[in-house]
Every structure is written in structure tokens, then in C-alpha cells.
Amino acid sequence: MSTPAEHAVKVLNSLIETTLDSARGYKEAAHSSEDAQYKTMFSERSLKRMKITGDLQQEVRTFGASRGRSVRAGQGAQHVCGSEGRRHGPRREGDHQRGRARRGLHQGEVREGSGRR
């Protein structure tokens, strides 16, 4: 059984993963769009998601996670801003859990630069 703090960290880490995925999706949409208005809108949404990710990461740290167990916002932003086409095809149910298991993450743990899939 986990403590309330461990549960909160687990939920926050899940939100971080989901928000990073959202930021990547908006970034991909911005690059794929031919309409300048949509490019701008999608880029702005991606940047907003990255800010939210940083806020969530700070919140995880308030629960006592060390730097080695929390995501640094800068690395997540580099991943979103510096990679193209890492995800191929549509998301499937359970991809999030498989990705965490593949990276060897345990409940309540986030690894440095974990936005990478």
C-alpha cells in the first residue's frame, strides 16, 4: 500500500508523461500543417504544454523526489523541440504503461529526460 505522497507523485508523473505526449503531438501538428495560422496555434499549444510540464515537475519535487528521480523540464523541452517523427502510427491503449515498463520505471519514479519514447 502506498502513502498519500507516493500516490500523489504517481499521479503527477502520469500527468507529466501525458502532457509531454500532448506537447509532442502539437509540435508534430505544427510541422505538418501548411497553414501558417495553424502552425502558430499548434506551436503555441506545444509551448504551453511544456510550461505545464515544468510546473508539474516542480510539484513532484515538493514531495521530496531527488533530482535523479524527477524530470528536468529542460530535457523534456529539448526532446519536444529537437526530435521529429519518433512516434509512428496512432497511439494505442496501454502504450503509456508499456513505455514506462520498457524504460524500467517504477511506481512514483520519473527518470531524467523521461519524455523520450
Q: Is the pLDDT of residue 5 over 60?
A: yes
108 assigned to some structural domain = no
pLDDT at 44: 98
Confidence of residue 2 (pLDDT cuts 50, 70, 90): confident
Domain coverage including residue 82:
4-102
Angle CA(17)–CA(47)–CA(79) in degrees, nearest 5?
55
The span from the CA of 6 to the CA of 98, in Å, is 21
113 assigned to some structural domain = no
76 assigned to some structural domain = yes
Torsion sign across C-alpha atoms 91, 26, 108, 8: negative
46 assigned to some structural domain = yes
Cell numbers standing for residue 23: 506537447
16 assigned to some structural domain = yes
88 assigned to some structural domain = yes
74 assigned to some structural domain = yes
112 assigned to some structural domain = no
For the chain, what is the domain count?
1
Q: Is the pLDDT of residue 57 over 50?
A: yes
